[in-house]
Structure 1
């Protein structure tokens, strides 16, 4: 019995020491997996709607991956929006962590850059929350629609749009231990199907070719179109290029599928790929180990969106 107690005590001490070492080693906020764990722990909570899964905590803030991230009272990243001034144009960016602006200072996010260019007469907001597919991002937007009454919704469509995400709450250990969260993430990555770009292409071909994820994405776009018809706003879809490599770009099948779906719904498609592929894909990464778009990528997005937003006033 005493030997078992000693073994258990030794394991507990080893785990405690491992936890301390992981937290010290990742204190520079350069570990992507740990920073995503901190984001989920510090800024997100379970949504009351299971179809959404998780949402931002209103009023929360944290420094993540070296960047200050503040959530306003509506649960959006960014400053408090002005929803009281009559006749003020309202533009909302709907999407996942890219719409939220992961890893980028607020002024350099797509929301920040559009707000700067469009000026004080236009209120630009984002409902972006990390780790969501399109079904979740649209359902999340519908929670805001009646309150905001936008003139334009900019839907960011990514390669991950039809991928079915886990919406159940993480266990206690994952939520409280960086060491355990790191181990779980590593196991999930090493046991995933396929590897390298070839595996990535094959996995995306599978989900974009059909199945429950694609059906859920199509249904989400139908719900968005129904809400659009009810409230009278315009929808612009910005197709975010798959960011791992542009030379050659092997994900054109995603563009073809989305172009067809967008045309069916009468929406405007904005495709930054022809502009972005002139430079290496890595030049648009927020960090060497993080393929989220950086300020340079968001500048291109804004360059293409501003003329489309101007056309909506014609």
Structure 2
């Protein structure tokens, strides 16, 4: 059975198998439990039919010198969406924005996006690896599941190497979600934002810490809320997004919610990277880049080259 599934998934893309391959070939454990995992330096894999190359510092990006030159340097923090899951590097919103920014000012954007991250992990990764790059600007791309608790290494992790176990466990989880309203994505995400939820408490602490560091070091810090791509014209998570924006406003953190910009999309699946995977595709990445541009560049002196 294992051999049959390996042959099948070699020719047909299956989301859970691809994520397992990402974990096995690209990710390694971090020494900081608040980070959990990082990318293996100089690793590569084909995931979702896309070639993924990781540089010597563990970023899905080209090599950058540590010393900041004359270019305006921005660091993007985020999860698998910022990483560009299922999208060619040149089609990610990070690359698209870097190209667009360079039309008006020499700019370099360093992509710290890492799959399966939350805000706590993203901020701690910055303090572990990002500080040395001395950015002028940090942008954290926030997704609704950023309030999850940072997972710890499981003693059963070795089982993830089995495609049979991965395949059938994902089917069981899908069946349970269909049978139980409490497992629906709406109720699950809503539950993350109860005031007593530790993940949300950790998230607020991490964002506050990032904001304080940025102010102390004269770094611009922005937060951009990305949409969950299941229902865009009657968005079911408005209350949760409003709560996040309220927190940002109360703590003088610059933030914008991109959901309203996507509200005219009638069929969200047109923006999915695959039929069983609601990560944003090439078209959605272009939209994120377009809708983020004015917010990222506001109030900054940009001079035409």
TM above 0.5: yes
Higher RCO by CA contacts (8 Å cutoff, separation 6 or greater): 2
CA distance in 2, matches of 1:70, 1:122: 22
| Aligned equivalent of 1:63 | 46
Q: CA shift at 1:95, angstroms?
A: 0.9
1:269 matched to which residue of 2? 255
Write the mapping of 1:94-113 to structure 2, written as runs, cut at 5 A. 94-113=77-96
What residue number does 2:76 align with? 93
Alignment TM-score, normalising by the size of structure 1: 0.88
**Take 1:66 and 1:31, find their aligned partners in 2: how far apart are those partners?**
10
1:41 lines up with 2:24 in the alignment: yes
Q: Deviations over 1:195-245 (max 9, x none)?
A: 479932222222112211111111111221122123221111111112111
Counterparts of 1:97 and 1:303 in 2: how far apart (Å)? 19
Q: 1:219 aligns with which of 186, 194, 205?
A: 205
The yes-or-no answer on 1:229 pairing with 2:212 is no
Count of aligned pairs: 297
Q: State whether residues 238 and 271 of structure 1, in contact with CA within 8 Å, keep that contact through their aligned partners in structure 2.
A: yes
Separation in 2, partners of 1:75, 1:169: 22
* Structure-2 change in CA distance of 1:283 and 1:54 (3 Å): same
Q: TM-score by structure 2 length?
A: 0.90
| Secondary structure class of the residue paired with 2:115 | coil
Equivalent in 9, 16, 20 of residue 26 of structure 1: 9
* Runs of at least 5 residues in structure 1 that lack an aligned partner in the other structure: 1-17
Structure-to-structure mapping, 1:298-313, within 5 angstroms: 298-313=285-300
Q: Aligned equivalents of 1:102 and 1:286: distance in 2?
A: 8
Query: 1:1-314 to 2 correspondence within 5 Å?
Result: 18-119=1-102, 121-169=106-154, 171=156, 173-191=158-176, 195=180, 199-210=184-195, 211-279=197-265, 280-314=267-301
CA 1:249/1:195 → structure 2, altered by over 3 Å: closer, same or farther?
A: farther
Superposition RMSD in Å = 2.1
| Secondary structure at the counterpart of residue 144 of structure 2 | coil
Deviates further, 124-133 or 189-198: 189-198
C-alpha change, 1:193 and 1:212, in structure 2 (3 Å) is farther
* Residue 271 of structure 1: how far off its partner (Å): 2.1
Relative to structure 1, the CA distance from residue 29 to residue 139 in structure 2 (aligned partners, 3 Å threshold; closer, same or farther) is: farther
* Bigger mean CA deviation after superposition, 161-170 or 70-79: 161-170
Deviation at 1:74, TM superposition (A): 1.0
Contact 1:262 1:268 in 2 (8 A): yes
- Please identify, of 139-148 and 108-117, the stretch whose mean Cα deviation from structure 2 is larger: 139-148
Q: What is the Cα deviation at residue 85 of structure 1?
A: 4.8
CA 1:122–1:269 in 2, change beyond 3 Å: closer, same or farther? same
What is the CA-CA distance between 1:19 and the residue it aligns to?
Answer: 0.6
